[in-house]
Structure 1
């Protein structure tokens, strides 16, 4: 009976729980799902992490490559995030070029990196105007059950903290980079941004850490990113976003 009601009237099914200040999975409205984290999951990457929030599973791999610094910022390197939502993680995604949600998630991660200053791009410069690191941050969703952005952010930060880049010097005679794979160093992590995603039911009830089904029935979604000093780093709402040039203190 309950399964039939859920299938025929999913919104009313959820409303029946929300009236009692709980959710179908037994959580309270402000309760997050269990989060698990595994570090160093990809041996071929320079840094990696696997994160599970409930059934949502996300993996992040960091790969460093050498390049020329930007012409307009010769003392900086690059950080290039990309979020992939393949069909294997959910039937809602199709093969082919990145869809709207994947593109929005990639832009969100880029905004958080810029707004939180989790890594100073100056730290990625090896020789000013000549050589720098490019950090490719590839984030793949393995199982999608809502709250993708929070999971991506946890995976990214954990992978960055796990990353070890090889020592690089430039031969003064040949000006050719020489890479010492045996001697590696950690990245300098300046901030630790954390996301919290909320959805709104019927324009009046707010719940945290939504499942995919809850997201599909919501009237609004918002993700708030703060750092360890409780400063606001980024805000995201589907259809619009706020990028902060520097974190703002929360009042």
Structure 2
């Protein structure tokens, strides 16, 4: 009977759980799904990470290349993020050019990188006006079950912390760059942004870390990104019903707690990998 109700009246099915302050998967309203992390999973990348938030799975691979700085920004390098939501991760996505959700997710990640200052692009400059690094940060969703933005941020942060740049020197005689692949150093990670996403049901009931089904039934979405200093980096609300100041403050408070949880997880995994090497 419950299975039929879930198919025929999915919103009413969810409401029956929300009235009891729980959700169909057994979580409390403010409870995140289990989050796991693996780094260095792509041997051909300069840095990589695989993140699972519940069933939602995102892999991030980072490739570094040498390029010329822009004339208007001679002392800066580049960070180019891209989020891919292929058909293999969910039947809701179709083959072809990136859809609206993938494009919006890529722009969101770009905003997080810029506003959080996770890496300052000045750190990617090798020789002012002549040579710099560009970081291509590709995030691909392998399995989509909601809340892909949080998973992308975690995967990006972990992959950046896993990335090592080769040593580059400029030949004084020829002016050509010489790359030493045997000598590498890690990126200067200045901040640790982490996102927490929320959905609102019936304009009043707030839940965290929504599944794909919950996202589709909710009346509003919100993602809050904070760093380790509890600084608010990004508040992303793509339409929907407005949130009260009280609800927004509740989201920010939960996001700062989530930031601490995820940073501990990332640091623990990074430490275990370094210990094993």
Taking the aligned partners of 2:237 and 2:155, their CA distance within structure 1 comes to 21
What displacement does 1:72 show? 0.8
1:8-27 equivalences under 5 Å are 8-27=8-27
Alignment-derived partner of residue 184 in structure 2: 184
Secondary structure of 1:72's match? coil
Secondary structure of 1:7's match? helix
Alignment-derived partner of residue 270 in structure 2: none
User: Do residues 193 (structure 1) and 193 (structure 2) align?
Assistant: yes
Secondary structure of 1:189's match? coil
What is the TM-score normalised by the length of structure 1? 0.95
Taking the aligned partners of 1:184 and 1:56, their CA distance within structure 2 comes to 32
What displacement does 1:238 show? 1.7
Alignment-derived partner of residue 55 in structure 1: 55
List per-residue Cα deviations over 1:39-75 (Å, max 9, x = no partner).
1000000000000000000000010000001111100
Q: Which has the higher strand share?
A: 1
Secondary structure of 1:155's match? helix
List per-residue Cα deviations over 1:120-171 (Å, max 9, x = no partner).
1000000000000000000000000000000000000000000011011111
Runs of 4+ in structure 1 off by over 2 angstroms are none
What displacement does 1:239 show? 4.7
Taking the aligned partners of 1:154 and 1:33, their CA distance within structure 2 comes to 14
What is the TM-score normalised by the length of structure 2? 0.86
Alignment-derived partner of residue 166 in structure 2: 166
Greater Cα shift, 82-91 or 166-175: 166-175
1:100-119 equivalences under 5 Å are 100-119=100-119
What displacement does 1:172 show? 1.1
Rate the CA distance shift 1:239–1:130 in 2: closer, same or farther, 3 A: farther
Taking the aligned partners of 1:168 and 1:17, their CA distance within structure 2 comes to 58
**Structure 2 unaligned residues grouped into runs of 5+:** 241-251, 254-277
Alignment-derived partner of residue 73 in structure 1: 73
Taking the aligned partners of 1:203 and 1:7, their CA distance within structure 2 comes to 23
Q: Is the 8 A contact 2:89 2:143 kept in 1?
A: yes
Taking the aligned partners of 1:169 and 1:95, their CA distance within structure 2 comes to 43
Q: Is the 8 A contact 2:220 2:239 kept in 1?
A: no
Secondary structure of 1:106's match? helix
Secondary structure of 2:236's match? strand
**Structure 1 unaligned residues grouped into runs of 5+:** 241-249
Taking the aligned partners of 1:71 and 1:45, their CA distance within structure 2 comes to 29
